[in-house]
Amino acid sequence: MTRITFIGAGSVTFTRQLLRDLFSFPELADTRIALHDIDSERLATAEALARRTADAHGAKPTILASTDRRTALEGADVVVNMVAVGGHHATVTDFEVPAAFGLRQTVGDTLGIGGIYRALRTFPLLRALAADMAVVCPQAWLLNYTNPMAMNVQYLAAVAPDMKVAGLCHSVYWTVHELCAVVGVPFEEVDVLSAGVNHQAWILRWEHEGRDLYPALDAAIAADSQLTRRVRVDMYRALGRYPTETSEHSSEYVPWYLPHDAEIERLRIPIGDYLRVSSDNLREYGTLRQCLADGETLPSPGEEDATEYAPQVIHSLATGTPRTIQVTTANTGLITNLPGGAAVEVPATLDRFGVHPRHVGALPAQLAALNRSFLNVVELVVAAAVEGDPRHIRHAAMCDPATAATLPIDQIWKLCDAMTAAHGAALAPPLRNLIPAKGL
C-alpha cells in the first residue's frame, strides 16, 4: 500500500483535484491518505471532501486526518506540500504594503517583494517539515507545490541536502496545451523540450511529427493582433523562445512592463489580480464546506483526466510506469550556463526508482541571462535565511528586476522594513530586525 501525506490539506480545492487524479488510477484505489493542516476546521472539511471524492471514484483508501504533523507523516512514502503560510491575510499584506510605496504586482508569489516575503514565511515550515521527515519517513519523496517554487527548493537543498525533493508545477503543461490550440495541432502528438527556472522556463523545442511549430505560431500571431497584446507574446518576439508562465506572472520577473502605464494598457496587465484569485478561493472553500455539511452534490472539479504531476509521480513510483514531466531540482550540471546548485526546471523521467532529472545543456544566451537575474534574487533570499542576515533580504529586493526598475534604494530598504514589521512573527527571529536604509 502506498502511503501519501498531504501537508496543507486545508487547501481543499487543490486537495480535491489531487485526490481526483490519484483515484483515477486503479492501482492507487486502496492507498493510505494522511491529511495534515493546522486549521482544524479546514482539516475536517478536507477529510470529508477526501471521503466524498473516494466514494465518487469507487476507491477504498484508508484516510486519516491529524493536526499533528509527525503523526500524519509517520511511515509516508510520498509527502505532498501545498502549504500557504499566512493564508489570505498574508497575501493581502503582500500587495497592500508594496502598493503604498508605488510598487505594482500581479501575482506576487514567485519573485519580487511578494515572492521574497512569501518565501521567508515558508522557510521555517520547510525546515521543520524536513526535520520531521528525517525522523519518521526519511526515505519519502517530498513533492512541493508551494510557491515560490525556486526559492523553496533551493532552500531545502541548502538545509536538507539528503532529502529527495521534486518541485512540481503545471505551467509548462498548460502553456503547451494553449500553444497547440493556437496553431491547431493535437497536444498529445507534439514533442516538447522546456527548461529554465520555474515560472520562467522556455519552450526550447516544440514539434509535430518532426515539424518545428514556431513558424506556425509566428503566422498565428501575424494574423491576430490581439495575440500581440500579451506579455508572453511580446517576450517571445523579442527573445526567440516562448516563456512557460502566464503573462500576469511573466510581467513581474522583468523590468520592462509594470513600471510603465502605457505597457500595462497595451498588454492588458491585471495589477493586483491575485487578490481576486485569493478571494475567489475563499468563496470556493465556503461553498464546498457548505455543500459537504448539507450533503449536497459538489460543484464539478473540472476535467476528469489526470493532469497534475504529483499523482503521476506517485503512480510511477508504485507501478514503475515510465513518464516524463517537468520538475524543479538543484542544478547538478543539468543546465550548464546557470549556476550550480540553483533551483532549475528541467524534464525528468519517472519510474519505480524515483524522479530522474535530464541533462539539457546550455540555454540560448539571452534566456540564460534572464534566468540568472531571476536566480540572483533566489540566491540572496536563501542566503538571508541560511545565514540569518536580514541585509540579504534588502539585497534581494535591490536585485529584483521589477522592484529595481520602480524604486530607489532608500525606498526599497524602507519597503523591506515595512514588510518585515507587517509579517512579524511569521519570519525566523534573526530576520525580524529592521535596518536603516543602506545600513551596513
Say whether 165 sits in a helix, a strand or coil. Answer: strand
The CATH number of the domain holding residue 51 is 3.40.50.720
> Does residue 20 form part of some domain?
yes
- The answer to whether the CB of 32 falls within 8 A of the CB of 108 is no
| DSSP codes joined into one string, 369-437 | HHHHHHHHHHHHHHHHHHHT-THHHHHHHHH-HHHHTT--HHHHHHHHHHHHHHHGGGS-GGG-----T
pLDDT under 70: residue ranges of the chain:
299-306, 437-440
> Does residue 120 form part of some domain?
yes
Q: How many domains does the chain have?
A: 1
> Does residue 330 form part of some domain?
no
Q: Which of 80, 99, 191 is nearest to 145 (CA)?
A: 80
> Does residue 222 form part of some domain?
no
pLDDT of residue 285: 82
> Does residue 44 form part of some domain?
yes
pLDDT in tens, 144-163: 999 999 999 999 999 999 99
**Catalytic residue at 170?**
yes
> Does residue 152 form part of some domain?
yes
Expressed in angstroms, the distance from the first to the final Cα of the chain is: 55
> Does residue 82 form part of some domain?
yes
Backbone phi, then psi, for 138, in 5-degree steps?
-65, -20
pTM for this entry? 0.95
pLDDT of residue 324: 96
Q: Which of 88, 170, 208, 260 is catalytic?
A: 170
> Does residue 410 form part of some domain?
no
Backbone phi, then psi, for 112, in 5-degree steps?
70, -175
Q: Which of 155, 89, 158 is nearest to 116 (CA)?
A: 155
64 forms beta bridges with 34
pLDDT of residue 8: 94
Structural domain span for residue 34: 3-89+105-167
Query: Which stretches does DSSP call E strand in 145-218?
Result: 164-167, 190-197, 200-208, 211-212
pLDDT of residue 111: 96
